[in-house]
């Protein structure tokens, strides 16, 4: 049948393992619970802090890398493209300036009105 010799009884003997049923036995629940809870909270806070700082630092690095890449692309672009980009940026800034100038003029008129009304009330008293 099989060409292997039968195993020797001494080589295959293992003592039986104890099998525990139910919950695992706890050694010192009250002493262990008293020191692990604060320690666990400190470790959790430390890991959260490291994760947050790493995320912020990584985002800063990525932003800096993107800035350098964009700056390099702008500097390597042909002069015509650079002029076109600058003209588009100027048009955008001019369009933003108009509403701000209007608001500034309205503010100046309102301040003048308030000055006139405060002068008339101060003079009549």
What tens digit of pLDDT does each residue of 28-59 get?
555 555 557 888 899 999 999 999 999 999 99
Sign of CA dihedral 48, 51, 55, 61: positive
- Is residue 124 over pLDDT 70? no
The pLDDT of residue 123 is 57
Q: What is the pLDDT of residue 95?
A: 94
The pLDDT assigned to 59 comes to 96
pLDDT tens string 62-77: 999 999 999 898 888 8
Which pLDDT tens digit goes with each residue over 94-104?
A: 999 999 999 99
* Rounded mean pLDDT, 92-118: 93
Q: What's the distance, CA 55 to chain centroid? A: 5
For the chain, counts of helices (H) and of strands (E):
3, 0
Q: Give this prediction's pTM.
A: 0.39
Write out pLDDT tens, residues 3-34.
676 666 556 777 888 887 777 766 655 555 55
């Amino acid at each position: 049948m099989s060409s292997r010799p039968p195993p020797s009884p001494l080589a295959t003997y293992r003592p039986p393992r104890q099998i525990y049923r139910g919950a695992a036995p706890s050694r010192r629940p009250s002493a262990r619970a008293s020191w692990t809870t604060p320690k666990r909270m400190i470790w959790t806070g430390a890991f959260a802090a490291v994760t947050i700082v790493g995320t912020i630092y990584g985002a800063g690095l990525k932003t800096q890398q993107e800035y350098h890449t964009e700056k390099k692309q702008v500097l390597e672009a042909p002069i015509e493209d650079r002029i076109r980009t600058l003209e588009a940026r100027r048009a955008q800034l001019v369009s933003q300036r108009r509403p701000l100038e209007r608001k500034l003029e309205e503010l100046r008129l309102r301040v003048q009105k308030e000055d006139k009304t405060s002068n008339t009330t101060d003079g009549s008293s």
